[in-house]
Amino acid sequence: MFKVITHNHGKFREIEKIVSKAEMLEMEYPEIQTNSLESVVDFALNYLASRIEGNFIIDDSGLFIPALNDFPGVYSAYVFETIGNDGILCLMEGKKDRRAYFKTVIGLRYRGYNFKFIGICHGEITEEPHGSEGFGYDPIFRPEGYDKTFAEMSVGEKNKISHRGKALRKLRGFLERMGEI
Ligand code: ITT
């Protein structure tokens, strides 16, 4: 089994659908202030490595909006807790460029080494929230080529095209090559 260190049940549901040998472990770790998800993951992997026996997985993700200079980006968790989807929609009022992308960096600690698997999904910010599936910013994000938001998709449908789905399939490929799954 691979321990997945997260407090986010929505995220874990998506992870276990692709890496079925996953178990959720709720544990705190510091998310350092930096401008890249990759450095957050590097720091967290090293921090947790001295506290967790064996292999484990973490996932740090963010929503990047070019019209807002890539905000909320690495601050996505804090921004979601404070101003939420309504706050983002307010900031986007009157913006013609509604493009946005999600990025996931999955960190794997495996046999004492750190690995990262990255996935990106492009789309746009809707005018209003739609749907009740998923979590976080899903109701206001419509992926490219679709006429519905992530929150109007099942976990399976979202995983096929999402940032996390892409990163997870890279992780699964690696674990398969290692003979772990
Ligand atoms: P952890 O315990 O795993 O850190 P978290 O919810 O803090 O959970 P992140 O820091 O990775 O996770 O996520 C930053 C924010 O972006 C947070 O508010 C999430 O709800 C949101 N988010 C992450 N992935 C998302 C996705 O696939 N769809 C919508 N929102 C997402």
pLDDT tens track for 70-92: 999 999 999 999 999 999 999 99
Can you tell me the distance from the alpha carbon of 26 to that of 14, in angstroms, rounded to the nearest whole number?
16
CATH of the domain at 60: 3.90.950.10
Phi, psi of 22 (to 5 degrees): -115, 140
pLDDT tens track for 151-160: 999 999 999 9
Q: Report the residue among 70, 135, 142 best suited for mutation to probe ligand 1: largest number of ligand atoms under 8 A from its CB.
A: 135
Mean pLDDT of 104-121: 98
For the chain, how many structural domains are there in total? 1
Mean pLDDT of 133-141: 99
Residue with CA closest to ligand 1 atom 31 = 136
How is residue 61 annotated by DSSP?
E
Can you tell me the distance from the alpha carbon of 165 to that of 10, in angstroms, rounded to the nearest whole number?
13
The pTM is what?
A: 0.98
Domain carrying residue 9: 2-177
Does residue 124 line the site of ligand 1, with CB under 6 A?
A: no
Tell me if residue 60 is catalytic.
Answer: yes
Can you tell me the distance from the alpha carbon of 37 to that of 58, in angstroms, rounded to the nearest whole number?
12
Can you tell me the distance from the alpha carbon of 152 to that of 73, in angstroms, rounded to the nearest whole number?
23
> pLDDT over 90 for what percent of the chain?
99
Amino acid 177: pLDDT: 98
Amino acid 63: pLDDT: 98
pLDDT tens track for 12-59: 999 999 999 999 999 999 999 999 999 999 999 999 999 999 999 999
